Structure 1
């Protein structure tokens, strides 16, 4: 009897693509920095801005994509939410902030409310045709929109930091990209991931629904956003409260060494507190997603369990 041919092994799904993306992108960014400082060629500035602004957001989106729950999350959908979501979010937020906000004590809260509402609306619009709305997929798609928004925002900040009163400063551009790359995972991507998870958990198969839980999540995320944006002002006020002094143009006049240390410490501790709150919130959503996966499917409508009478 002829022996059957051995079956080829199943294809191996290569994971950790995000790690390769990060290291390749980091090497290219470092090479661009070296070449710019070596040659002084201004034509490389756009390359530096784009690589530095998109490296961390793209890496995190790739990492999240490997942990998707359903097959509906295709690379095309991730790309559209990242790019279209980011562009639409930035444009809409810029328009609304220009017409609705004025300098005041409520400025940071207004920015948080507007930007989080815009990102949530864009997320709901781009994913409205999904048939299965799993919590984890909502987290991933929300993170994709948020990181797209963050990448374009970082590119804008990096570009404007290039121009100083003393001319073009590539050093300041590099410092801006490094700082925002470090803190970006705890900002827009995290906040919109939370909103995406709550949005998908509060929705039916046919459409999204606005629930009290979603509204509370939106207000809570907007508050985290406001505290994050206003942390420098909060740290400044606390420093003045503890040490005294005068302020001019948002800075302490002739600050002492102790004031500088206290201000820096308060600012970064504040950022850490906001980041931890957001991470714990997201972790709770991920846990609820896992519990939902472990629950048995509901019985079909009209199902009845027969009960035999005693002695029957």
Structure 2
């Protein structure tokens, strides 16, 4: 009799895609119904669907690539929800009382937000008996995407209120933009930190290592550059194309009217800067992911055959 082969149970094809398509259809239908009925009671539905669609989709996609059976749907969901809320609350408190307007404001934001997400991840996953780097990246991404979802909901809700009253288009534009950028933001940065944290762990404790400190500083700087790219692009545009008249207006506290060339250059620099930051973060994440092998988990009841001793 030949050696039996193990066949993994078949999974539903691309559940993340079903989640995304279903959520997108519901979001579009919500926009259409609000336009037709002008019912403001549907605004919270629109905000929640648009803010959570992309983060939830990426968490489902990442969950399919888990290393161990300890990453249950319940654990990932609680990490996404609880970690996201704790991160947003802690960041809001610390930024309110510790940060003030200065050229280093965005550096402080990056350091605070990455620290609170890392702490939330460590607290919520401290009980895990097996901590692999890939599982740490998945759980870190779950915390980051939870943070991004709640933060985006806040931005979308704020965008609703304008000088001319409630603006549905402002909400839609905000959710579309933040949805497009969500995969290369909080989830990416905290995914990197989660992998490094779990790599430095023991069975019962997380360790603060040199690699973890370097990773924390690195993702915080990427975060700060991301948040400040608008200001950086504006300064570079003025340095390259600014006229003496524009400089004089700036010295007196007035914002000069940009030329068409300056608008195009500013737009290019803003998006190019975000693209470079995204590529650096993605390359870092992919490098970490491929720097470790998946642990081998044999199927239940399967044993490694041993040599038969000679009679």
How far apart are the structure 1 equivalents of 2:253 and 2:65?
A: 44
1:253 aligns with 2:279: no
Q: How does 1:72-221 map to 2 (within 5 A)?
A: 72-221=70-219
Corresponding residue for 2:48?
A: 50
Aligned with 1:263 (options 257, 262, 266): 266
CA shift for structure 1 position 293? 4.4
1:284 aligns with 2:287: yes
Change in CA separation of 1:194 and 1:52 when aligned onto 2, cut-off 3 Å: same
- Given the two structures, how large is their TM-score scaled by the length of structure 2? 0.89
How far apart are the structure 2 equivalents of 1:124 and 1:21?
A: 28
Corresponding residue for 2:25?
A: 27
Change in CA separation of 1:44 and 1:240 when aligned onto 2, cut-off 3 Å: same
- In structure 1, runs of 5+ residues without a counterpart are 1-8, 295-312
Corresponding residue for 1:239?
A: 237
Aligned residues: 285
1:225 aligns with 2:223: yes
How far apart are the structure 2 equivalents of 1:116 and 1:177?
A: 23
- Given the two structures, how large is their TM-score scaled by the length of structure 1? 0.89
- In structure 2, runs of 5+ residues without a counterpart are 1-6, 297-311
Two-structure CA RMSD over aligned residues (Å) = 1.7
Deviations 1:254-279 (A, max 9, x none): 11100000000000000000000000
- Tell me the SS of whatever aligns to 1:289: coil
1:18 aligns with 2:16: yes
How far apart are the structure 1 equivalents of 2:20 and 2:38?
A: 26
CA shift for structure 1 position 12? 2.2
Change in CA separation of 1:31 and 1:199 when aligned onto 2, cut-off 3 Å: same
How far apart are the structure 2 equivalents of 1:172 and 1:161?
A: 6
CA shift for structure 1 position 281? 0.3
CA shift for structure 1 position 11? 4.4
